[in-house]
Structure 1
Amino acid sequence: MRDVLQVLKEQFANWGLIYRLANYDIKSTYQMHYLGAIWQFLNPIIQVAAFWFVFGVGIRRGQPVGDVPFIIWLVVSIVPWFFINSSINQGTKSIHNKVNLVSKMKFPFSILPSVIIVKNAYNFIVMFAIVIILLISNDIYPSIYWIQLPYYLVTLIIFLFAVTLLFATISILIRDIQTAINSVMRMFFFLTPIFWVADGLPDKLVSLLKLNPFYYLIEGFRNTLFLETWFYEDITYTIYFWGLTLMILLLGSFIHIKFKAKFVDYL
Structure 2
Amino acid sequence: MLSTLKQILSDNWQWRHQIWDLAKMDLVKTYRGAALGKVWLFTKPAVYILVYWFTLSVGMRHSSDVNGQPFLLWLAAGVFPWFFMSDAINRGSDVYHRYSYLVNRIKFPLSVISTFYTLSIMIIFACTMLFTIVVCLLTGVHLSRYLLQLPLVMLVMFVFWVAWSIMLSPLSAVSKDFANLIKTLSMPFFWLSGILFQLDALPPIGQKIMAFNPVAWCVEAVRDCFVYKQWFWQRPDELIPFLIVFAVVVLLAVRNYRRLHKEVPDVL
What is the TM-score with the length of structure 2 in the denominator? 0.91
Q: CA deviation at 1:95?
A: 1.2
Does the aligned pair in 1 maintain the 2:23–2:116 contact within 8 Å? Answer: yes
Q: Alpha carbons of 1:158 and 1:257: their partners in 2 closer, same or farther (altered >3 Å)?
A: same
Name the % identity.
25
Shift of 1:8: 1.6
Instruction: Report which stretch shifted further, 85-94 or 129-138.
Output: 129-138
Counterpart mapping for 1:102-181 below 5 A = 102-181=103-182
Name structure 1 gaps, 5 residues minimum.
Answer: none
Shift of 1:144: 2.9
Distance 2:145 2:98 in 1: 44
Shift of residue 158, structure 1, vs aligned partner: 1.1
1:207 maps to amino acid: K
Could you tell which deviates more after superposition, 43-52 or 140-149? Answer: 140-149
> What one-letter code is carried by the residue in structure 2 that aligns with 1:123?
I
Q: How many residues align?
A: 267
Q: 1:85 is matched with which residue?
A: 86
**Amino acid paired to 1:5:** K
Hey, what's the Cα distance between the residues in 2 that align with 1:8 and 1:57?
49
Q: Distance in 2 between matches of 1:257 and 1:222?
A: 36
SS at match of 2:110: coil
Distance change in 2, residues 1:34/1:150 (3 Å) = closer
CA contact (8 A) 2:103 2:265 kept: no
CA distance in 2, matches of 1:34, 1:53: 28
Aligned to 1:26: 27
Whole-angstrom CA distance in 2 between matches of 1:195 and 1:119: 26
Residues 4, 249 of structure 1: 8 Å contact kept: no
Q: SS at 1:128's partner residue? A: helix
Q: Distance in 1 between matches of 2:99 and 2:107?
A: 13
Counterpart for residue 55 of structure 2:
54
* AA at the equivalent of 1:73: W
CA offset digits 1:161-204 (Å, max 9, x no partner): 11111111111122112211221111010111112122343211
What do the CA deviations read for 1:89-128 (whole angstroms, capped 9, x no partner)?
2212211232344424210111111121111122112111
Q: Which runs of 5+ in 2 are unaligned?
A: none
Q: CA separation of 1:152/1:104 partners in 2, compared to 1, >3 Å: closer, same or farther?
A: closer
Asked if 2 retains the 8 angstrom alpha-carbon contact of 1:73 and 1:195, the reply is: no
Contact 2:66 2:227 (8 Å CA) reproduced: no
User: 1:253: which partner in 2?
Assistant: 254
Show the counterpart of 2:264.
263
Backbone CA RMSD of aligned residues: 1.9
Q: Distance in 2 between matches of 1:196 and 1:60?
A: 13
Decide whether aligned partners of structure 1 residues 232 and 25 sit closer, same or farther in structure 2, where only a CA change above 3 A counts. Answer: closer
Q: Secondary structure at the match of 1:261?
A: coil
Superposition deviation, residue 78 in structure 1: 0.9
Structure 1 residue 139: deviation in Å? Answer: 4.0
Letter in 1 for 2:196: F
Higher mean C-alpha deviation, range 88-97 or range 179-188 = 88-97
- The within-5 A match list for 1:87-102 is 87-102=88-103
The Cα shift of 1:73 comes to: 0.7
Per the normalisation by structure 1, the TM-score is 0.92
SS of residue paired to 1:110 = helix
State whether residues 74 and 227 of structure 2, in contact with CA within 8 Å, keep that contact through their aligned partners in structure 1: no
Find the aligned partners of 1:104 and 1:134 in 2 and give their Cα distance. 44
2:238 is equivalent to residue 219 of structure 1: no
Q: 1:171 to 1:121 in 2, by over 3 A?
A: same
Which stretch has the larger CA shift, 219-228 or 26-35? 26-35
Partner of 1:45: 46
